[in-house]
Chains A and B, each alone.
Chain A
């Protein structure tokens, strides 16, 4: 079982969280011409690295806040967690 340190509530079990995918994906800017390729990259294409991965989780059964988690996809080691509005260092 993963133990995720919610930046608001502290260390909690994985069971309280739901997963939200790659946190590095950026929506194309509003009011700007968007190419099909840019839209494709935003909606569908993912790097899905083996190793360090920045991802979104929601503390669904806790404070209900979205957070960012830096986790290793091969070992499941969690290095650091961030509030949703914090920039990834």
Chain B
């Protein structure tokens, strides 16, 4: 594989950029693989990469219905954080933060990781208490957390509304300084390029139409490009998990919902943090191009549409303007939608299934992008060793029937219903 560096850039610039290698190949599916990963998004590509790198399993195929990186890894708002209270989420995400910090070097691909910090705003004394508790829990797990008072928040984000006559005044906030953003497409491409170079077949435009299961064991998959035998199969298809589960006669604790995001026209640098509104569901950061990247609530009803509906967008941006009034002056450049696996406790599932050799990675709700490296790493471990790693032991499929929910928001089942 061609190594990317300043020297390769200069060399190729001088030769008119005609001699770059293809970043990954476009192979036809082989008859058999050791592991087939369904879904060529961030998590699927990362899983294949860590299977090859950490477990030396390279007879691997990624089967993607569309094109790699065309789903949620290319549709999210690029936020990376580990500001969770519960051990399962905190330790898992913080392990991921470490992988994020090393990712550009590890993949020889600039993923533009920018640890600029995230601030969750608080709008009442009670919320400040809750944030103090969450911040303390984070610090006990080795995650950086800083509780900010109103004046400290004002220093960091003076453009927020600090006037006296607002419905939700800013009391303070909880900041994770090491959180940030990364270039989402680059993450998919970086993993794809490295996985491909280690022998993984990335097979695009190939739809999975069924599974071959006999005597409770996975034997292979059926696709629009023929049958493929596989010793192990991993599902990484957030948004389409329920569709594939139905082909396996499985019913999962997941509903498929639509989440929208949008960006404004590009403006000069104004915001160097990720900020979330604490009295509703709205988050904003500024991209390197200058666009304000914004998102918030789900559309609220089951959807596979991959496109949004205006009432929710209006509701979300109303919250945004309440938090930062200057946003109302901006023109909207683009809005888009992606479909999410909404799990019943708001936490993901990375586990084995009742079918031997079939593994499940799903239920990422709003937070799939930041989990990409940790999810790929633990899922690769689960597949390669046929047992869960301690980092994803809590993300079990049967926690719903045993009552071991990871209810980060303390809202019980169906945490997204408003």
Contacts and interface: CB of A to CB of B under 8 A. Distances in A.
Which 6 A-B residue pairings sit nearest by Cβ, starting from the closest? Answer: A44-B253, A48-B242, A45-B251, A19-B301, A44-B400, A50-B304
Given A1-B310, A73-B305, 20 more contacts: A2-B309, A14-B311, A19-B417, A21-B414, A36-B401, A40-B401, A44-B253, A44-B413, A46-B251, A46-B254, A48-B254, A49-B242, A49-B246, A50-B242, A50-B243, A50-B256, A50-B304, A71-B301, A73-B256, A74-B305
A53 B311 contact: no
Interface in A1-52: 1-2, 14-15, 18-19, 21-22, 36-37, 39-41, 43-50
Contacts of B344: 43-44
Nearest to B403: A36
Majority secondary structure of chain A interface residues (helix, strand, loop or mixed) = mixed
Contacts, number: 73
Contacts of B304: 50, 73-74
Contacts of A70: none
Interface centre among B300, B301, B344 (most CB of A within 10 A): B301
Interface string B269-310: 000000000000000000000000000000011111100011
Interface residues of A, number: 28
A15 B311 CA distance: 7
What interface size band does chain B fall in?
20 to 34
A75 interface: yes
A43 to B, nearest CB: 6
A42 B31 CA distance: 41
Contact of A76 (B243, B246, B303): B303
B302 A48 contact: yes
B252 to A, nearest CB: 6
Contacts of A44: 253, 344, 400-401, 413
Nearest to B400: A44
A47 B251 contact: yes
A36 B246 CA distance: 21
Contact of B302 (A36, A39, A55): A55
Nearest to B343: A44
Interface string B392-418: 000000001100000000000110011
B246 A47 contact: yes
B255 interface: yes
A1 to B, nearest CB: 6
A73 B414 CA distance: 18
Contact of B311 (A1, A36, A37, A73): A1
